Amino acid sequence: MKKKISNGVELWFGWFSTVRPGQGSLFVNVNPTFTTFYQPLSLDAFLLEYLRYQSLPRDFKPFHLKKINEIIKGVLVRPLHLKVPTERRIKKLLTGKKVTYFKYKPKANSKETYPLEKYFKENYNIKEPTGLFVEIMTDDDTSIAWPIEFCKIIEGQRYSNKKLTGRQRGEIIMETKLKPSFNEKETIRGTNEILQLPNDPTGVGMKVEPKMTEVDARRLESTDVKYAGKVMKPINGQWNLKDVKFVESGERLEFWHVVIFEQSRWISKADAVEFIKNLGRQCELQGMNIARVIPDIQHLQYMGPVSIKNAYEEAKKRLKRPPQMIVFIIPGEKSPINTELYEAIKRIMDTEIGCLSQCVSVDSKKNFRNQQYCANLAMKINLKLGGVNSMLPENKLNIRGEEVLFLGADVTHPKDKTGRSICAVVGSLDNQAARFITKYRDQERSGLEEILQIDEMIKDILKEYCDYQKRKGKVGTSQD
C-alpha cells in the first residue's frame, strides 16, 4: 500500500520481522512498518511539490539551490525525449548562466553548436519552458544536461529519513499510528497471510504460533502536577495550563528581540505585534515577570548560519546590550528549510553565541490568538529564564526529612556515521526535582549506550549540588 505525503514524497507500507530469544522460547517479532520514497513525477512537478511553489523561477538563491541539490543529487531519472529507454542519475540542477556553458552538437565531431534551451524548444516543442536543466552523471567526462520537464523520476527510490521535514514527520506519524486493537489484528494478519510464517517451508521442524503471546502487565497511574497554589489532575492524558500560575518566575524578561525569517506577505509586522502582545499577557497571567514593552521586530531573509549571527548582532545594537532572548518566527513545517533552520538556530544560539532563543513556526499563525498555545510558549520561556513551572506533590516522592540528589543520564547518537555522540547527565538541586544542573560531553560514535566520562560529569554535579544545598544528601539515579 502507498500513501502520498507532502513535498513530493510517498509512504510504502510493509512488514518487519525478526527472531529474538525470550524466556523459555524463541519469539518472532512482527511489526507493520513503512519507508519513504520519491514520488514518480516529472522533475519539474517534483520541484513544485518539494518547494510548495506555484511556478518555478529561472534562478535560485545559493542557499535554496544547495537544498535542492541535496535532495535530487543521485536520483535516477528517465529522459522522456529519447526513444531509446535509458536511466541516468542527476548530478546537480543548472540555473541561469550555468546553462549557457552547455551546448548541443548535432554530431560528435561537429563544430556547429546550439544553445541547449533553443535546441529543445525548437525540436521538442516545449510550450512553457522553465529554463531549468539538470546535469547528468556520465561514465566519462562528457557533459550532458536535460530539461527538468523531460526527466521522469524512476519509481521505487528511497527518500532518506535525514531529508524529511518536520511536517513530513508529522504526516508520517498521523498515517502510521494505529489503535492497539487494530495493530493487533494487522500484526496477526501480516504474520499469517502476508509473511505466512506458520507455513514456512524452511522452518526446519519449528512451528510459529499463529496467535500473539500474552504477558502480565500493570498500568501506571498518571501523576498530579503541583503549580502555585493549585494541584492539576490530568484529564484524558492532558494537563490544561490555561488558568494556572507557575511555581516561581524566572528572571524579569525586559531586553529581548523578535526576528522573522519569513516574507512579510506571510507574517506582517502587525501580525507579529499582535502575537507578542498576546504572549506577554499570557506570561503575566501565569505569574512571569515581563516588561510591558513591545520588543523590536526585524524581518530577515535566511541566507545560512551567518544570518542568525547577524540577527544577534543587530539585536545587541538596537538594545545597546546583549539580549536576554531572541524569538525567531520561522517558515512553517511545509517549508524544506524548516528543520535545518530550527537546528541551526539552536546550535548557534546555544553553543556559539550563548543566548536564549525561542522558535515559533509560521504554521502556528492560526494559534497566535490561542490562549493555550501562548501558555505552552510561556512555559518554555519561563524555564529558559531560570523559573520553576511545576513540581511533583510531596506525597508522590515520599522523601521528607532528607535531601536527595536525583541523577539522570542519556546518550544521543548522530544520524550520520561521521558525527559524534552527545552524552548528557542531569542532577536535581532540590527534592522537588524542579531545578537541574546539566552537564554534557561529546564522544566518538560507538552506538553503545555508555558515557565514557560519566565519573567526571557526576563529580561536577556533586560539587554544584553541595554548594547549593550546603549539606550532604542521598543520591538516586534513573536511566531510560
The pLDDT value given to residue 183: 87
Work out the number of other CB atoms within 10 angstroms of the CB of residue 56. 16
Residues 13, 15: Cα–Cα separation, whole Å? 7
The pLDDT value given to residue 234: 81
Beta bridge partners of 151: 79
Tell me which of 392 and 22 has the higher pLDDT: 22
Confidence of residue 417 (pLDDT cuts 50, 70, 90): low
Lowest-pLDDT choice from 202-206, 343-347, 433-437, 451-455: 202-206
**Helix axes 43-51 and 62-72, enclosed angle (nearest 10):** 120
SS3 category, 199: helix
The pLDDT value given to residue 365: 66
Question: What type of residue is 337?
Answer: I
Pairing of strands 296-299, 256-260: parallel
Residue in the structure block whose three cell numbers are 527534592? 431
The pLDDT value given to residue 428: 86
Kindly report the average pLDDT of the chain as a whole number: 84
Residue 61 has pLDDT above 90, yes or no: no
Contact 439, 451 (CB under 8 A): no
Residue 411 has pLDDT above 90, yes or no: no
Residues 192, 83: Cα–Cα separation, whole Å? 45
The pLDDT value given to residue 9: 95
Q: Kindly tell me the burial class for residue 364, based on how many C-beta atoms sit within 10 Å of its own C-beta (0-12, 13-18, 19 or more).
A: middle
Report phi then psi at 152, rounded to 5: -105, 125
DSSP state of 238: B
The pLDDT value given to residue 254: 94
The pLDDT value given to residue 242: 67
Alpha-carbon separation of residue 15 from 60, 180, 298 (angstroms): 40, 17, 49
Question: What type of residue is 460?
Answer: D
Confidence of residue 480 (pLDDT cuts 50, 70, 90): low
Residue in the structure block whose three cell numbers are 489503535? 179
Question: What type of residue is 424?
Answer: A
Lowest-pLDDT choice from 371-375, 431-435, 463-467: 431-435
Residue in the structure block whose three cell numbers are 535566511? 302
Tell me which of 429 and 89 has the higher pLDDT: 89
Confidence of residue 170 (pLDDT cuts 50, 70, 90): confident
Can you read off the three cell numbers belonging to residue 442?
561529546
- The model carries a pTM of 0.67
Sequence-ordered strand ranges (E) for 48-201: 76-79, 88-94, 103-104, 114-115, 133-136, 144-147, 151-153
The pLDDT value given to residue 478: 67
- Which of 137-141, 155-159, 222-226, 229-233 tops mean pLDDT? 155-159
The pLDDT value given to residue 196: 82
Lowest-pLDDT choice from 201-210, 240-249, 260-269: 201-210
The pLDDT value given to residue 314: 95
Residue 337 has pLDDT above 90, yes or no: no
Confidence of residue 274 (pLDDT cuts 50, 70, 90): very high
Chain centroid to CA 290: 30
Q: Which pLDDT tens digit goes with each residue over 79-113?
A: 988 888 889 999 999 876 666 666 666 555 656 66
The pLDDT value given to residue 162: 77
